[in-house]
Amino acid sequence: MASSLVFGYCIIISICLVLASVSAQSTRAFFVFGDSLVDSGNNDYLATTARADAPPYGIDFPTHRPTGRFSNGLNIPDIISLELGLEPTLPYLSPLLVGEKLLIGANFASAGIGILNDTGFQFLHIIHIEKQLKLFQQYQKRLSAHIGAGAARNLVNRALVLITLGGNDFVNNYYLVPYSARSRQFSLPDYVRYLISEYRKVLRRLYDLGARRVLVTGTGPMGCVPAELAMRRSTNGDCDVELERAASLYNPQLVEMIRGLNQEIGADVFIAANAYRMHMDFISNPRAYGFATSKIACCGQGPYNGIGLCTPASNLCPNRDLYAFWDPFHPSEKASRIIVQQILRGTTEYMHPMNLTTIMALDSMT
């Protein structure tokens, strides 16, 4: 009798594992790594000054409450999920990321981080990229316990991954203060080469952990954000020349590094997203995209609303859709939607070697 019960119990467990495996195979998970451009709330669980947990952040989110996103509403990962018909990923540190929610994927991003572990030190406790990758390993162990090792491996291999890094390594490291430690250690060209070499290790580690479709964004026009216009005392709204030089050195080398990594692997695992071009389209011609300005942030204070943080005491524009920038550093939800359209459908000037729509079509045939 006891042996029959044990046998029956084993059959039930086996059926449950098979059903979980089928569910995992029919779901395309989405994993997000990076900084504040893609953080959906991890920093709310950390003792850090890099937070978006107070109004008016989230004013246009469905709940009209702060969520930890550095946006008035949805951010880029949210909009990608929406466009692909996926459920938005939860922050990895969220207590809600349990059970079936693990099948959706997870967002490991943390505001303030960069490619280098010393980037963002002033923000205290943030999840540097090395730790994000360790949490990704931890996630896979949790997923394996839920659906089995084979199904978990398949889910990760089939997943879409987005990684956004690099901007903070310039604005919150090399150019953080005059004569910063990194600027004394490296000339700008040497620093860019160092960043690219370190980023290559990060991407290779992602591949080794099972990622097979990875969108890699370059830096945007760092010298054109309201914070830099204000801090560098731009009198006519012109972008900062030195930060623009940094972007012009970094982005082409990132594309070349990705091309070489794909050749080494023998597949188009990594897709380069030209975030600089995507932003500059509406920064250089805001009215063509329905914006009243691409120089003044909707939320902030001081010149260009670019000083300090967006807080309940800040200036706040009444119509966020007229502003390309929500706060001194981050795009508005409307601007993020424009960026995602280029990720989905952009030509090879924006997405190399292919856009996300092409990726999804190709992957649906395998």
> What are the catalytic residues?
36, 327, 330
Q: Are 240 and 228 contacting, i.e. CB atoms less than 8 angstroms apart?
A: yes
Q: In what order do the strands lie in the sheet with 105-107?
A: 105-107, 30-34, 160-164, 214-217, 270-273, 351-352
Q: Is the dihedral of CA 166, 167, 170, 172 positive or negative?
A: negative
Q: Are 299 and 73 contacting, i.e. CB atoms less than 8 angstroms apart?
A: no
| C-alpha to C-alpha distance for 119 and 187, rounded to whole angstroms | 17
Q: Are 76 and 2 contacting, i.e. CB atoms less than 8 angstroms apart?
A: no
Q: Determine the residue type at 144.
A: S
Residues linked to residue 315 through DSSP beta bridges, in sequence order:
300
| C-alpha to C-alpha distance for 262 and 214, rounded to whole angstroms | 11
DSSP character at residue 289: G
Q: Are 253 and 191 contacting, i.e. CB atoms less than 8 angstroms apart?
A: no
| C-alpha to C-alpha distance for 135 and 127, rounded to whole angstroms | 9
Question: 67 exposed, middle or buried (CB, 10 Å; 0-12, 13-18, 19+)?
Answer: buried
Q: Mention every residue, 6+ apart, whose C-beta is less than 8 A from residue 146.
A: 20, 99, 102, 152
Other Cβ atoms closer than 10 A to 145: 11
| C-alpha to C-alpha distance for 29 and 63, rounded to whole angstroms | 24
DSSP character at residue 55: T
